[in-house]
């Protein structure tokens, strides 16, 4: 399902740009204004539900923390389970983890070892608010696959094309971004 130009405009206009955050020269895409705009959030979630209802997904996996907001709601709409992918040390049970590079160092995310074990070869949609350089998303897609599931697509509300993260992620899974920023 393709997002109409009217729907795209509603979602795009609900996202606020914050200049020089978290540091000078960066334009932060603030989704809190999307979340508190009932019409825009409804348009977004209905679009995602329509897009993914025919994928026969078993789970939605959301990246800590903004991916939880969209992922848990979408999982409920589709009647499937939600799996959190968290920063290292935040999950209480046995986990597997994946390290990834940041512009200023190394970070690590993890998922429960048995997160997808109820359904053999589970089909999983990965979701987050934004993809920039793709480090976190790449690590998350790898974790899903390492846990015995299949990351069938990674979905982002915003894709920053000028940082090339989407192209790197396409080597692992399909990628869909609603709003493209060049």
Q: What is the pLDDT of residues 19-78, one digit of tens each?
A: 999 999 999 999 999 999 999 999 999 999 999 999 999 999 999 999 999 999 999 999
Residue 77 confidence (pLDDT):
98
Catalytic residue at 66?
A: yes
Indicate the Cα dihedral angle 44, 125, 170, 41, nearest 10°. 10
Residue 182 confidence (pLDDT):
87
Among 103, 108, 171, 180, which one carries the catalytic annotation? Answer: 103
Residue 93 confidence (pLDDT):
97
pLDDT at 130 over 90: yes
> Judging by beta carbons within 10 Å of its beta carbon (0-12, 13-18, 19+), is residue 118 exposed, middle or buried?
exposed
Cβ proximity of 130 and 154 under 8 Å: no
Residue 55 confidence (pLDDT):
98
Mean pLDDT, residues 87-107: 92
Among 8, 66, 110, 150, which one carries the catalytic annotation? Answer: 66
Residue 2 confidence (pLDDT):
84
Catalytic residue at 103?
A: yes
Instruction: Provide the percentage of residues in the chain whose pLDDT is more than 70.
Output: 99
What ranges do the domains of the chain cover?
A: 56-181
We find that the CATH architecture of domain 56-181 is: 3-Layer(aba) Sandwich (3.40)
């Amino acid at each position: 399902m393709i997002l109409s130009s009217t729907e795209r405009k509603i979602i795009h206009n609900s996202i606020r740009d914050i200049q020089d955050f978290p540091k000078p020269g960066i334009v932060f895409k603030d989704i809190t204004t999307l979340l508190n705009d009932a019409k825009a959030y409804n348009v977004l979630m209905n679009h995602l539900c329509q897009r993914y209802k025919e994928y026969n997904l078993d789970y939605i996996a959301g990246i800590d923390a903004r991916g939880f907001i969209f992922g848990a709601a979408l999982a409920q709409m589709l009647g499937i389970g939600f799996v959190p992918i968290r920063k290292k040390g935040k999950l209480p049970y046995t986990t597997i983890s994946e390290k990834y590079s940041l512009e200023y160092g190394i970070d690590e995310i993890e998922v429960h070892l048995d997160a997808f074990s109820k359904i053999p070869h589970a089909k999983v949609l990965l979701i987050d608010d934004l993809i920039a350089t793709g480090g976190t998303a790449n690590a998350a897609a790898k974790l899903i696959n390492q846990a015995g599931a299949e990351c069938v697509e990674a979905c982002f509300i915003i894709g920053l094309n000028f940082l090339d993260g989407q192209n790197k992620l396409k080597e692992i899974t399909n990628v869909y971004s609603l709003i493209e920023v060049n």
